[in-house]
Structure 1
Amino acid sequence: MPAATGRQLDQAVYLLPLRAFLGITYVYAACQKLHDPGFLDPSAPGSFAAQTAAFKHSSPIGFALGPAHVAIPATGAVQLTAPGGDPVFVSRTADGGYKACSGICTHAGCPVGIDQAKGVLACPCHGSTFDPKTGAVITGPAKDPLPSFPVTVTDGVLRVQKA
């Protein structure tokens, strides 16, 4: 076995107290959280299960939009708001399912809105229009369609699958 160099010994001496400090910190934090009686109670709002569920719904992987009984017409789209505040447009698909499109214009990043008279999603900044069902560009200057995401209905809640 080769002998350890001075540099390797210095690194080991430096890392040992750091590892001990981090280990003690993690144990202390866990003990503080376990002292909270609601942490282990699944029905408490501050429980581990509730916090994990809240993260799941607000994470960038996907998010919940609202009850499935929101009146979404057979044509056109309904504007809803994602947890981060961005607009999302939800429409019905031909098979009776749902589809969501981002409400941020791909040209300059402006929020788009529904133009009811024309039946399109319109960007107020530069006039781009998009198909509310597919997010496809109808008129420019935008060249790219609005990002679209599949939507599932779980426990009566619309969930956008972003990943």
Structure 2
Amino acid sequence: MEPIYNFRETEMNGGIINFRDYQGKVLLIVNTASKCGLAPQLESIEKLYNKYRIQGFEVLGLPSNQFRQELGSEEEISEYCQVHYGVTFPMTRKIVVNGLDEDPLFTYLKDQSGKGKIKWNFTKFLIDKEGNLLKRFAPITKPEKMEKLIIEALKK
């Protein structure tokens, strides 16, 4: 299977996110949904991002309407996440996390974790500095519970 650094995504503003730019960094990938009851996690994820970014921690949010809890347009999603949760980390255009049209990145992440389909919004994947999946976190896992593993990964 190809390494994670071969993937690309499209940012909400149309820019290309090249995963090669994440080499040597710890990366948290999360499927988001603005109207999900778990959306307040965005605030905690943003706090971790701000706290550890200077040490090489990056976050990438991938909005999905797979579970019918995302706003209509990229502009609405971006504005909502910034206004309500202060999100400054990169967010992509909407993607599909399961099924025939699923984003190849999520096919890869699900295969790497061995845990099958994404069951809900805010499934989180922590990637180490070498591009390996460290851990897949359940949607209900609070971002604060990931902090110890993020710190350990940054030290390696």
TM-score bracket for the superposition, by shorter chain length? under 0.3
More relative contact order, 1 or 2 (CA 8 Å, 6+ apart)? 2
TM-score normalised by L of structure 2: 0.22
Larger helix share, 1 or 2: 2
Larger strand share, 1 or 2: 1
